[in-house]
A and B are shown apart, each in its own frame.
Chain A
Amino acid sequence: MKSVYVLFVAGRVGRSLRELFWTHLLTAGVMAMTLSVFGGFLMIQGNVGRLVQGWSDQVQVFAYLKDGVDAAAAEAMRSRVAAYPEVKAVRYVSRERAWDEFRKTLGSQSGILEGLEPDVLPASLDVEVRSGHRSREAVLSLARRMAALEGVQEVEYPETWLEKVRLLMIGIEWLKWLLGGFLFLVAFLIVGSTIKLAIVARQDEIEIMQLVGAADGLIKAPFVIEGMIQGLVGAALALALLRGAFSLLTAELLAPFGALVAGRQFAFLGAGECALLVLMGWLLGAAGSMLSVKRHLA
C-alpha cells in the first residue's frame, strides 16, 4: 500500500476513534474483561501447576521400622530399597534423629514435647520417588513392596491426592476454554456491533467515498483497524487488570496461607502467555470487525 494511503487510513481511524471515543473504549473494556478472565485461568493454571510440581517433587513413602530392627539391619534394608528403579533417594532416620527433626520442626512450640521420651517416634526409611514414577499406581506398588520387607511395621504414602490434583488440573483446563470460549464469543459479537455502529455513523462518508472513487480496501480498512485497536487496547487493559489483581492477591489474600504456600514463588503470566493474550485480543478485534464490515458494508 502506498504511504499516502497509509496516512489517509490512519487519519480516518484517528477521526473515528475521536468521534466514537466512548463507544470504542467501552468495547475495549468488555474485551479486557473477557481476556482477563481467560488470563486469570492461565495464571491460576500456571501457579497451581508449579505448586503441584513442587509437591510432587516431594512425594515420599515412609516405611516405619519395627522396634527390634537395629542400625545395621536398617542400613541393609536402605541399600535394598535404594536399588528399586522408582527410588530416587532413600534415607534411614533413626529414632533419635526423628525426635530431633520433629523438635526442630515445632520450633518455639517444641515445649509441648516435654515429658515425652525421645524414643516415642519409630525409626524409618524415608523414600523419595523418582519423577515418572509418581502416579498413584506406581507409588502404591512401591509401598506394597516395602510393606512386604521384613522389619517394616507400617508404610505411609500419599494415596489419593495425586489423582485429585490431576483431576483439578483437567478441570481448570476445561473451565478455561469453556468460559473463555463463551466470553470470546460475546466479545466478538460486541466488537462487531461497535463496528456496525461506526459504519452507520459514517454512512454518508462511505457513500461519498464510493462516489468519488475510493477503492474498496480504502473504505473498509479503517473499520478493520479500529477493531484491531479495540482488541489490542482490551488486551493491554486486561494485562494491567491481571497485574493489579495478582499484586493484591499475593500481598494480602495469600498471607493467611503462609504456612501452606511458604517458600513457593507465585508468578505472574510469563512473556509467552502475555503475548498470547495480546494476540487473542488482536485476533478477536480483527475477526469481529471483518465480519461486521462484510455484513454491513456492501
Chain B
Amino acid sequence: MSMIRLHKVSKLYPPDDTGVRDVTFEVEDGEFLFLCGPSGAGKTTLLRLLFRAEPVTEGQVIVSGRNITRLKGDGLAAFRRRLGLVFQDFKLIPRMTALENVALAADVTGVSWRESRRKAFRLLAELGLKDKYGALPPALSGGEQQRVAIARALVNDPELVLADEPTGNLDPEMAEETMRLFARIHRQGTTVLIATHDHRFLQRFDGRVLLMRQGRLAGVHGAVPAVSA
C-alpha cells in the first residue's frame, strides 16, 4: 500500500515560476527515504506540499489514501495530527519547557493532560532527555532541542514522519545520532521521509533516495522502483 502518492505535482512561485515541476512518485508504507539535492532544488517545497503547508499549483497529493490537495480547516488539522514533522530550526516554543513542547502535540488531539504528560515524559526519557524535561529550549543544546522536536513528532504515534533538514543545525556527532534515531523510528514500522542536502548519510543508512534538481525529480536510487519522473 502507498503511504504517499504524488501525481504530476507542480508548485510554481511567481514571478519566475521557481518551485517544483511535474513530480510523480510513490512511497510505500514503512519505507525509509531520503529526499536529496542541492539548495534550491525544491526539497523543502515538496515536503511542504506533503503536509499541505501550501496548495499545489497542479497535480494531486495523496497521503495514506487521502487526497490532501484541497484539504483545509479542521480536516487539514485532523490530517496533520497523523503526521510527525521535524524541522531544521526545531520550531520549539521557547516559553514552554521541553515536556510542555512535546505534550502540546498530544494536547491538541484531545487526550487528557495527565496522559499527554505521561507520553511526553516517556518519549523524552527514551531519547535521553529524562533530566531535561523541565528545561526551556534556549537552555538546551542544538542536539537536545532536535531530540525534543523529534519526541514531539512521535508523541501521537504517527504513520508518517517528515523531516526537513533535521541535521542542518547540528554538529557532525549530533547529526549522526539524530539520523540513527530516525532509523530506529523506521525500524518500529513508521514511514520516514527526510529531506537533506547532506550526502554523508545516504550510504550509511539503508533507504531509497529521491534526487531532486531544479525543481524536478532527477533520479531514484534504491530498492523500491515505483518511481517515474
Name A's B-contacting residues (CB within 8 A). Answer: 2, 4-5, 7-8, 15, 19, 204-205, 207-218
Contacts and interface: CB of A to CB of B under 8 A. Distances in A.
Contact of B77 (A4, A8, A204, A213): A213
A213 B107 contact: no
Given A205-B93, A205-B95, A213-B81, 17 more contacts: A4-B113, A7-B113, A15-B95, A19-B95, A204-B94, A207-B91, A208-B92, A208-B104, A209-B108, A210-B77, A211-B85, A212-B105, A213-B82, A213-B109, A214-B77, A214-B108, A215-B74
Contact of A215 (B53, B108, B112): B108
A67 B41 CA distance: 116
Contacts of B109: 213
A216 B74 contact: yes
B78 to A, nearest CB: 7
B80 interface: yes
Interface centre among A204, A213, A216 (most CB of B within 10 A): A213
B105 to A, nearest CB: 4
For the complex of A and B, the 5 pairs showing the least CB-CB separation, nearest first, are: A213-B81, A213-B80, A214-B108, A212-B105, A213-B77
Interface in B29-54: 51, 53
Nearest to A214: B108
A23 B45 CA distance: 38
A204 to B, nearest CB: 6
B146 to A, nearest CB: 15
Interface string B94-133: 1100000000110111111100000000000000000000
Contacts of B105: 212-213
12 contacts: A4-B107, A4-B111, A4-B113, A7-B113, A8-B108, A8-B113, A204-B91, A204-B94, A205-B95, A213-B81, A213-B108, A216-B74
Contacts of A216: 73-74, 77
A250 B95 CA distance: 50
Interface in B138-158: 152
Is chain A's interface secondary structure helix, strand, loop, or mixed overall? helix
A207 B51 CA distance: 13
Contact of B112 (A4, A15, A209): A4
B126 to A, nearest CB: 19
Contacts of A7: 113
B25 interface: no
A218 B80 CA distance: 15
B85 A218 contact: no
B93 A215 contact: no
Contacts of A211: 51, 53, 80, 85, 91
Nearest to B112: A4
A204 B113 contact: no
B201 interface: no
B80 to A, nearest CB: 4
Contacts of B85: 211-212
Nearest to B84: A212
A208 B53 CA distance: 12
Nearest to A206: B93
A201 to B, nearest CB: 10
Contacts of A209: 104, 108
B108 A212 contact: yes
Contact of A212 (B73, B81, B110, B112): B81
A212 B152 contact: yes
A214 B77 CA distance: 6
A216 B109 CA distance: 12
A208 B149 CA distance: 11
Interface in B57-102: 73-74, 77-83, 85, 91-95
Contacts of B91: 204, 207-208, 211
Nearest to B92: A208
